[in-house]
Amino acid sequence: MSQPSDQPGFENELDELRAKVDSLAAQLAQEYKMASLGRLLASIVHEINSPIGSILSNNQVVLRSLELVKSALGSGDAASLAKASRLVETCLSLTAVDKIACERIAEVVRGMKTFARADSSEARKVDLNEQLQDTLKLTQGEFRQRIQVETDWGEIPQVECHASMLNQVFLNILVNAGQAIEGQGKITVRTRHEGDSVHISIADTGPGIKPENRSKIFAGGFTTKAVGVGTGLGLALSKKIVEETHGGSLYFESEMGVGTTFHILVPVEQKNKAAV
């Protein structure tokens, strides 16, 4: 007599395991995103603290100047009025500086909001040039004066995508490029419309990727960074976001002593409308 088949039970267990793996993958992606934000936190705090310090200092000067202006206007003599006029000019100059400082803070906050905002389940059309510009604002504190960033924005159509997921990809590759450069260097970001896709390239002037490491670059857990600097998850998750979620392509070219260029191709229209 034949024994009853265990195949249905095995399939149920397999489905449960798949569900657990999918859940863990989603959790890992979210935790990596938060870790990426954490790594940038110190530089972002610096970016915000500097203009805030300038505003507070200028505010004290403006307050003292206004008190002197009030006193000068009260006296009514010509010398005092001339002094009051000079103080007003000083205040106007400081408020112009404060305006720049406030705009700088607003740019950083906008970049953070763009990166951290959760995507809806539906893809939406966005300008990837704007998304890249916002993401670059987050890297300025980390790059400081060490790395020059050049941009070459092409005329591209709006792309249907999950914007914050792609921002995570852009940020990861930009930070990797900055960390690959020792000392002074340059990162070049270009966008082009090619057929039914938008092509983003991010090139650095780092030392290049060693030939023996190139086949491992997108493997989960692989990193060439020091312990505590890299998790080896960024590029693996980036490839999943670009290729599996968006149906695009992520690859790189590298030459020792010259640098590395990552290429991101994202379809203008999404065939799969739901986020993965």
How does pLDDT run across 219-267, given as a tens digit for each residue? Answer: 765 455 544 444 445 788 888 889 988 999 999 999 999 999 999 999 9
CA angle 234, 213, 185 (to 5 degrees): 70
- Tell me how far the alpha carbon of residue 223 is from its chain's centroid: 20
SS3 for 217? coil
Most confident of 73-82, 94-103, 110-119, 153-162: 153-162
CB 92 within 8 A of CB 77: no
Q: Where are the alpha helices (DSSP H) in 125-222?
A: 128-143, 163-180
Residue 94 has what pLDDT?
A: 84
Give mean pLDDT, residues 88-116.
74
DSSP code of residue 270: -
For residue 72, give the amino acid letter.
A
d(CA 158, CA 269): 9
Residue 275 has what pLDDT?
A: 45
Residue 119 has what pLDDT?
A: 47
Residue 118 has what pLDDT?
A: 47
Residue 192: beta bridge partners? 199
Band (pLDDT 50/70/90 cuts) for residue 135 is: confident
d(CA 165, CA 170): 9
d(CA 94, CA 19): 59
> What is the strand order of the sheet 259-267 is part of?
147-152, 185-194, 197-204, 259-267, 249-255
Altogether, the residues listed in the chain come to a count of: 276
CB 241 within 8 A of CB 168: yes
Above pLDDT 90, what percent of the chain? 29
Q: What residue spans in the chain does CATH classification 3.30.565.10 cover?
A: 122-267
For residue 170, give the amino acid letter.
F
For residue 61, give the amino acid letter.
V
DSSP code of residue 206: S
CATH number for the domain formed by residue range(s) 122-267: 3.30.565.10
And the tokens for 104? 């700088």
CA angle 140, 156, 158 (to 5 degrees): 90
d(CA 89, CA 158): 45
